[in-house]
Structure 1
Amino acid sequence: MSKDVRGQLLSHGLGGVQDRNYDRHSYWSEKVRALKSWEKRLKAVAQGKNEKVTPIRRGVHA
């Protein structure tokens, strides 16, 4: 996800003066795509799928 789309989703908008004044794109399709991807990820986590847990072994003390 691009930083522009992240900014739009978080209601931060775009940072620069030119972006704020001249970029009139709504980013609607990009927002929908990003939120659907996030939904898919959250559902996988909630269902216990895609777990990438690496066990950490205790170090041996000398």
Structure 2
Amino acid sequence: MENPTATDAGVDVELARVSAHRNDLRTRHSQALAKLMDERDDLYGVNALADLVSDSLRWSA
């Protein structure tokens, strides 16, 4: 097994940071979509993915 180097540790830290940022964005966008879908009933059926995300959030709450 190879010994990790300082650059490997730096890459791991950067990957962890990017992953955390993506998770934050995903959560924020999902919450905004759920709020929008709650406010605007006329948007149901316009986009299947938006419907799926909104329904999933409601079922998981």
Q: Does TM, normalized by the shorter one, top 0.5? A: no
TM-score, with length taken from structure 2: 0.42
Where relative contact order (Cα < 8 A, 6+ residues apart) is larger, the structure is: 2
Say which one has the larger Rg: 1
TM-score, with length taken from structure 1: 0.42
Higher share in helix: 2
